[in-house]
Amino acid sequence: MINKLLKGNAKFVAGEFKPNEKYYRTIAARQSPKVLWIGCSDSRVSEDVITGSRPGTMFVHRNVANIVAFNDVNISSILEYGIVHLKIDDIVVCGHTRCGGIAAIEDGVHENYIADWLCIASGAKVITDEIAQKHKLSREQKLEVLAAENVKLQIKHLQSLALIKNMHEKGSLPRIHGWLYRVETGVIDVLVNGRTGKMTKGLKALES
């Protein structure tokens, strides 16, 4: 597999980098991404591939179940660098269907570090349990709702961080977007759009 990756890099250099060398020299000198992406570490959810984006477009943080943790220096430093220094105006929190982390939140997990990490998303399960009971959802439907509710919960966490909270008290930036990527179709559903945190489509019908 490692040799395959290196051959892929050679193909990238010949087919993409060299023909667009001027662009790559520009971003080599200085990055100016337009979006800060908070996504899941899942190997099936490559943010550049699923959005058709080129290198230099997004500043990226990925972890298990796309969680925004209050005590995570890593995500806090990424947010500060991206927003304060790179002047990024838009943050996307993107979850996805058929997520192993989401299934573990639903079923429970015994591994120590994974269990501790997923506790941060426990509030999404409480809401989802109520929705699932009300609408008599199947397991697959429930996991889909849980993935969406987790995105919305992590946005609330994001909005509660001092950096974001203080910036929102002064204006509308950064805008925060919640997305759900469907690994079975390749489609992105918009769950939360911009500063207001307004639900726009997707799983809204199940929550009425």
12 and 88 assigned to the same domain: no
What digits encode the pLDDT tens for the residues 147-170? 999 999 999 999 999 999 999 999
136 and 180 assigned to the same domain: yes
110 and 14 assigned to the same domain: no
2 and 80 assigned to the same domain: no
Whether 197 has a pLDDT exceeding 60, the answer reads: no
The pLDDT-based confidence of 195 (bands split at 50, 70, 90) is low
Whether 84 has a pLDDT exceeding 90, the answer reads: yes
108 and 169 assigned to the same domain: yes
How many Cβ atoms are within 10 Å of 128's Cβ, its own excluded? 26
> In whole angstroms, what is the distance from residue 153 CA to residue 68 CA?
9
Share of residues in the chain with pLDDT > 90 (%):
89
76 and 22 assigned to the same domain: no
pTM of the model: 0.91
Write down the pLDDT at residue 110.
85
Residue 42, CB half-sphere, CA atoms under 13 Å: how many? Answer: 23
The pLDDT-based confidence of 203 (bands split at 50, 70, 90) is low
Write down the pLDDT at residue 176.
97
Distances (CA, A) of 75 to 56, 103, 168: 19, 23, 18
Write down the pLDDT at residue 198.
54
> In whole angstroms, what is the distance from residue 74 CA to residue 61 CA?
9
45 and 109 assigned to the same domain: yes
120 and 170 assigned to the same domain: yes
Whether 93 has a pLDDT exceeding 90, the answer reads: yes
Write down the pLDDT at residue 95.
98
CATH assignment of the domain containing 189: 3.40.1050.10
Its domain, for residue 1, covers: 1-30
Whether 204 has a pLDDT exceeding 70, the answer reads: no
26 and 108 assigned to the same domain: no
Whether 143 has a pLDDT exceeding 80, the answer reads: yes
What digits encode the pLDDT tens for the residues 52-72? 999 999 999 999 999 999 989
44 and 82 assigned to the same domain: yes
Phi first, then psi: give them for residue 139, nearest 5 degrees: -60, -45
Cβ-proximal residues to 202 (8 Å cutoff; 6+ apart), any chain:
148, 180, 189, 190, 191
111 and 181 assigned to the same domain: yes
96 and 4 assigned to the same domain: no
Whether 115 has a pLDDT exceeding 50, the answer reads: yes
Q: Classify residue 144 as exposed, middle or buried by CB count within 10 Å of its CB (0-12, 13-18, 19+).
A: buried
Write down the pLDDT at residue 71.
86
Whether 9 has a pLDDT exceeding 60, the answer reads: yes
Total number of domains in the chain: 2
